[in-house]
A and B are shown apart, each in its own frame.
Chain A
Amino acid sequence: MKQLNCDVAVIGAGGAGLSAAAAAAAAGKNVVVIDREESCGGVLCQCIHNGFGLRYFNEELTGPEYALRMERCARESGARIMLGETVGAVRRHSDNTLEATLFSAANGVSKLNAKAMVFATGCRERTRANIAVPGDRSAGVYTAGSAQKLMNLTGMLPGRRAVIVGSGDIGLIMARRCRWSGIEVAAVVEILPEPSGLPRNIAQCLRDFDIPLLLSHRCARIMGRNRVEAVEIENLITKERFTFQCDTVLFSVGLIPENELLKSMGVEMNPATGGPCVDGSCQCALPGVFAAGNSLHVHDLVDFASIEARRAGAAAAEYASSGKLPSADAEVSCSKTLKYAIPNKCVPGSACEFFFRPTVSCARAKLTASADGQEIAKKMCLSVRPAEMLTMKAEIPAGTAKVEFLLEECK
């Protein structure tokens, strides 16, 4: 069986994995990136719309362009990229090195040994089954992302007239993509009283095309003997029901971090994010195991995922050299107005960047960080919404045991 050794192995060659690989390789490590697809970029390849790269590359790019740039960064830093390889299992040897079993059509089964591993496996979409929509099992029901893949990676159209369930960004982007491809969009239906996607996507993907956005409405039933013929929609406030004729239903109802490998290794998971618990260097509760990107927590922008992954890659390189990282003794917690704070632990006496997902919507809110009860950082946040992540950098004083974050609405 083929055996390959490296310092840092990165699982997943998307916007996070490539960035982690570039950072680890730039630190002089021997880096191998594994991806099951035949090209780099992960989901970026099918995201042909613009809106990527403003923060990371200082330029507005489409998904494929962002992927190509990131791939170039990784290759130029010296990372080796192995495509068409699926990771079946990862285990830990008694000397603490990690071993991944790889499968591919080209090489059969092989082993990859690494001192440190970065898991950047992305996420998958929630489906009709996850939100239990009753009705017929007709053809023409897709997740927004699978319809996007169909249109942008195989050049086919999913149908002629669609209803989009959920107002997440992928659904909004697909509403415009449908209209630009000659597919009618009857409506976008959102169960919550406010949209889940970015305001710019409401403006440029729905308003530009006069596509109705039905807030506080749910998809109650899908009807159609073979192909979808109609969907029944319920107004959750008036309880009134009505139907839309359509042959296609796209679900854009959220993302689930993909962490089957980490779970099988027994890594401690964070129920609030669906990803692993990590410290400030993106290291999981198992030493030498790192996570970054959408498998750690779902990001709004690939730029944030890449920035976070750079930190994971650099830390993995340091771990590969020294066999340990400064111990993260400070526990992080947050108020109920925040769904989560990432990382879950940080190193006292150092600076750390935190990511948050708010649970509340308000025009202005104050975010404060305190270390053992002493305020250490604060900032004002404008137009706070669950759809948008918040970030904060803070210097954690030496000897800190507890870091707490509080988000308070300002009247």
Chain B
Amino acid sequence: MKKMICITCPTGCEMEVLCDGDKITVSGNRCPRGAAYAESEIKDPRRTVTAVVHSGSGKFQSVRTDKPLPRPLIPGLLNKILKENYPEAEPGAVIIADIEGTGVNLIATGPAR
């Protein structure tokens, strides 16, 4: 049995997760998204990444992944955006498409400043 906090919404339900082979039983979640989170957390943990990217001309803007990214890929993404420059884009525009073939995109969330 594993204790886990659902991070899907600010309610932050405390869940108890029971793994029996491939079968996962979840309790304590107040909505079905909690069970989906628990399953993903055990099989393929993911997080939404937020950061800022630099344009190279002194400007930078805020970005996020449009879906949660597998945790093992997060350091690679952060290293890449720390080293490289990205042209200014409108909020919502894709900055990096299909990160490592996951189908997850990095998108701009705010104006360049």
Interface residues of A (CB under 8 A from B): 39, 45, 48-51, 54, 60-62, 64-65, 67-68, 151-153, 155, 180-182, 198-200, 202-204, 208, 300-301, 383
Contact = CB atoms under 8 A, between A and B. Distances in A.
B110 A51 contact: no
Nearest to A41: B110
B7 interface: yes
A300 B12 CA distance: 13
B5 A51 contact: no
Contact of B113 (A50, A62, A153, A198): A153
Contacts of B113: 153
B86 to A, nearest CB: 13
A289 B80 CA distance: 51
A108 B41 CA distance: 56
Contacts, number: 74
B91 A48 contact: no
Contact of A198 (B10, B60, B62, B74): B10
Interface string B77-113: 0100010000000010000000000000000011101
Given A180-B78, A199-B14, A68 B110 contact: yes
A62 B64 CA distance: 8
Q: Is the interface of B mostly helix, strand, loop or mixed?
A: mixed
B10 A152 contact: no
Given A61-B109, A153-B113, 15 more contacts: A48-B51, A48-B109, A60-B9, A62-B109, A62-B110, A64-B62, A64-B109, A64-B110, A65-B110, A151-B52, A152-B52, A152-B62, A180-B78, A203-B12, A383-B14
16 contacts: A48-B50, A48-B52, A48-B62, A48-B110, A50-B50, A54-B9, A54-B10, A64-B91, A65-B91, A152-B52, A152-B62, A180-B49, A180-B74, A182-B82, A203-B7, A300-B10
A64 B63 CA distance: 10
B7 A204 contact: yes
What 7 A-B pairs are tightest by C-beta distance, nearest first?
A64-B110, A199-B12, A200-B12, A48-B62, A203-B5, A200-B7, A155-B60
Contacts of A301: 10
Contacts of A49: 50
Contacts of A50: 48, 50, 64
A208 B38 CA distance: 15
